[in-house]
Amino acid sequence: MEMETLLKYEWGVMMPEFIILGVATILSLIDLFMPKDRNRRPLALFALTGVVVALVSLLSLLSVDVTSILGDTFRLDSFAKAFKVLLFLGGALVLLLSLHYEPQEGLLYRGEFYYLFLTALLGAMMMASSGDLITLFVGLELLSISSYILVGLRKKYALANESALKYVISGGIATAITLFGMSYIFGFTGTTNIKEIAQYLNETVDLGHQYVLALAFFLTLIGLSFKLAAAPFHMWAPDVYQGAPTPVTAFLSVVSKTAGFVIVLRLLVSVFAQIPAEGSNSPSMLLSLQDYIAFLAAVTMILGNTIALKQRNVKRMLAYSSIAHAGYVLVAFATLSMFMFDAVWFYLLAYLLMNFGAFAILQVVSAQSQSEDIQVFAGLYKRSPMMAVAMAIFLLSLAGIPGTAGFIGKVNIFLGAFVTEPAHYVLAAIMIATTVVSYVYYFGIFVQMFFRPVEDKRKIEWPIGIIVVVAVCAFGTILFGLFPSIAYDFLGQFDHFSDFLQ
């Protein structure tokens, strides 16, 4: 290939990626040459500016048609645009959280702390906008390896070491399983381009091939379920979430999970929705295997919500709650309705807002009391009423009470389970039942905040970054709860992601 052909591609559509990559590189250089005793907090603001600029450049690309570079190794379609907006929002909020993060023993590698978030974000972005197995996989690994390091950054804290090791081992196994599944897909088709794979497999009628392809489907789904922390592959999540620095926990539970759903949708839907299940002209393989996804969703909801009941440590509780939320999103995936992408997108948006808000408040409250026990919330309403009310909004949204974004998200998924033929009554029933169970532990924090006497009379200092995060999240949660049409107008321009496979 000549230089000219290479330059003919519209590299402009990769602008957000270039910005993030550039900012991460510059940050690493600044960090390297900065005197050791200098305060490194301004670096977070620089990173934040980078993320915001990248978000703006992405928004300016919204009207661009589907563009693909170098045989789909990078493609900008409506799926990529919509989900990258979520990733940028998450990235910006996580940087605000980490700006004020101060563990007991001090954070020795603050510069790395900031730019590793950016590289992880870059990996997630590449997963969102690629139509090629190799790029998808490299993006997945870039995200994973950056997060392994982020989890282990508190070197002097025994729990962090344990959780980093657990994360790297279970993540490595999951990667191996995913790759094994992908290798079968590649082996059958001889190409890594998802579009070509789909076309090629569309004509597969050999039953033997279909058996092995179904095997490949399970291997990939299981491998990627680790990333989503879906039960029964969720064991790592509570320990890792507890040991990791709070901003990293928020990152894992929101951005990393969003990226996991992105790759699941990108890979499984586009590849396996095209394969006929038995012989030609039969329903697609994805439809015939949807019961297994539904099973995964049901187990995830039940396990996540019931184990969360007996947690005293708030971080662990939020970990189990995030497992349960992964289950709700999996319901949307399992029903495979026409509105699946919209429902998943909206739920992940609502989840992003309410979860980041809750983690922001938890970070300050637990740092003050140097404990993550549920008692640290005792009497929060008396100590700082505004924050208690904000936390109440997030908890109501997590529980799915009307008037909040979490409610709208759940209703969407719930309705999606009925519009398909046949309707998924069992799954919808499990979703309702587990949601009711989740009220118990969310309202446990409620009781502590509003009705328990204050144990710790000291005034809580709320850093400016945390206030911004809490305000943005609370505002968004209410806004999308009362006027969900704003988000749907935004999604409307994508026309149900019809250019997914173009």
Partner 1 sequence: MSGEYIAFLALALVALAGGIFMLNLTKVVHMVVALVFTFVSIAGVYVLLSAEFIAAVQVLIYSGAITIIMLFGIMLTRHQDDGQSTGSPLRKALALLATLAFGAAVYVGIRHLDFGEEAAALHEKNTEQIGVALYTNYVIPFELTSVLLLVALVGAIILAKKDDKEAGEK
Residues near partner 1 (CB under 8 A): 1, 6, 21, 24, 28, 69-71, 73-74, 108-109, 112, 116, 119, 122-123, 126, 132, 134-135, 138-139, 141-142, 145-146, 148-149, 152-153, 155, 164, 206, 208-209, 211-212, 215
Q: Is the CB of residue 253 less than 8 Å from the CB of residue 230?
A: no
Cα–Cα distances (Å) from 83 to 113, 360, 442, in that order, read: 24, 23, 28
Min. distance of Cβ 384 from partner 1 in angstroms?
A: 35
Q: Of 16, 158, 15, 24, which is closest to residue 95 (Cα–Cα)?
A: 24
Min. distance of Cβ 130 from partner 1 in angstroms?
A: 8
DSSP 400: T
Min. distance of Cβ 273 from partner 1 in angstroms?
A: 21
Min. distance of Cβ 135 from partner 1 in angstroms?
A: 5
Query: Which residue lies nearer to partner 1 by CB, 73 or 384?
Result: 73
Min. distance of Cβ 103 from partner 1 in angstroms?
A: 14
Query: Which residue lies nearer to partner 1 by CB, 29 or 419?
Result: 29
Query: Which residue lies nearer to partner 1 by CB, 152 or 416?
Result: 152
* Sign, Cα dihedral of 208, 210, 215, 220: positive
Q: Of 228, 332, 96, which is closest to residue 88 (Cα–Cα)?
A: 96
Q: How far apart are CA 94 and CA 323, in angstroms?
A: 19
Q: Is the CB of residue 27 less than 8 Å from the CB of residue 43?
A: yes
Min. distance of Cβ 278 from partner 1 in angstroms?
A: 15
Min. distance of Cβ 188 from partner 1 in angstroms?
A: 8
Query: Which residue lies nearer to partner 1 by CB, 6 or 464?
Result: 6
Query: Which residue lies nearer to partner 1 by CB, 132 or 342?
Result: 132
Q: Of 282, 259, 287, which is closest to residue 272 (Cα–Cα)?
A: 287
Structure tokens belonging to residue 197: 């794979």
Identify the three-state secondary structure at position 30: helix
Query: Which residue lies nearer to partner 1 by CB, 57 or 119?
Result: 119
Cα–Cα distances (Å) from 321 to 54, 66, 309, 481, in that order, read: 31, 36, 9, 20
Q: How far apart are CA 11 and CA 170, in angstroms?
A: 36
Query: Which residue lies nearer to partner 1 by CB, 148 or 480?
Result: 148
